[in-house]
Amino acid sequence: MLLSRVAADLYWLARYVERAENTARLLDVASRLSSLPTTYAGSTNEWESAMTATGGNFLFDQRYDEANRRNVIDFLAFSRENPSSIASCLATARHSARSVRTAITREMWEVINDAWLELKRHSVDAMTPRQLAEFLAFVKDACLRLDGFAYRTMLRTDAHAFYNLGTFIERGDATARILDVKYHVLLPEGDTVGGGLDYFQWTSILRAASALTAYQWVFRDALRSWRVAELLTLRKELPRSIVNCSENTLWFLDKLANDYGRQGPAQRSARAYHASLANSSVEAIYREGLHEFLQRVIRENNAVGDAIEAQYLR
């Protein structure tokens, strides 16, 4: 048994930390691509697409004239007006952690609290490429350490389940968004990726999902667009793949149902969502259209999140 508010704070703590890490990856990729000669990176605005991948266009356009390096870094890393910026995510996560201190371990609290204290030392005006890289490394490191401590120190009670539900709902959403931003460069045929430009676009997607070396290990093949899509959506081996996230979401919901002795709408919607992914194939995705497929994934994943909130967190 857990207070609903405490369960909600744990769930959102995990979501916000996961979001901070994903945003850090997107910025990392944008920074890497923007440093390439245009013959390799193309003329697309990498900063803009990083911002688009977070779903922040509307908010961004209200506050900035141009999607240039400084503005996007400010918006995605530091702006407190953007609730999904790294700074906002870490501050919200710390606030959640602080109000549920009793439900997390001391180690988890210290990672979050340290990250929040460290955050104050950084600002957009001091961000040379090197400092940006260091800042992003710090963010990713803090998020990984939190994950590690959650894995190693939390009791396997319902609190742990809600924490993990937050992680996997957010992670599934992020992977779908990262892929969706680039769907226009994904060619439907099984072609090898041609030319420098495409190659770097592709690797940027894999990097954003922390899956570049994983691709080589899973396929032992040159980069092919449909395989990148397959890896990020349907391959269970990849920890950030959409199907892996849906499987874990279902697993933790089943554990809750088992502990509490009661199934509910959250379990049903997670089961249907996971089944649709587990029974899908990359061919089916292309028939449906990758963009359409990803939009559906984002919608259904959100619906599972809503069902979790309705069933447990209010």
**Residue ranges binding another protein (CB under 8 A):** 1-7, 95, 98-99, 101-102, 106, 109-110, 113-114, 117, 158, 162, 256, 260, 262, 312-314
The overall longest dimension of the chain from CA atoms, in Å, is 59
Q: What are the tokens at 79?
A: 């702006």
Nearer to another protein, 202 or 312 (CB): 312
Query: How many CA within 13 A on the CB side of residue 261?
Result: 1
Minimum Å distance from CB 174 to another protein? Answer: 25
Minimum Å distance from CB 91 to another protein? Answer: 11
Nearer to another protein, 51 or 313 (CB): 313
The end-to-end CA distance of the chain, in Å, is: 14
Kindly give the residue spans of alpha helices, DSSP state H, lying in 220-262. Answer: 225-234, 242-260
Minimum Å distance from CB 61 to another protein? Answer: 29
Torsion from C-alpha of 282, 246, 58, 292, nearest 10 degrees: 30
Q: What are the tokens at 153?
A: 């120190």
Minimum Å distance from CB 110 to another protein? Answer: 6
Minimum Å distance from CB 250 to another protein? Answer: 18
Nearer to another protein, 48 or 158 (CB): 158
Nearer to another protein, 242 or 266 (CB): 266
Minimum Å distance from CB 272 to another protein? Answer: 22
β-sheet bridge partners, residue 192: 224
Q: Which residue has tokens 């997107």?
A: 26
Distance between CA atoms of residues 150 and 265, nearest Å: 27
Nearer to another protein, 106 or 184 (CB): 106
Distance between CA atoms of residues 5 and 100, nearest Å: 9
On the 0-12 / 13-18 / 19+ scale of CB atoms within 10 A, 86 is buried
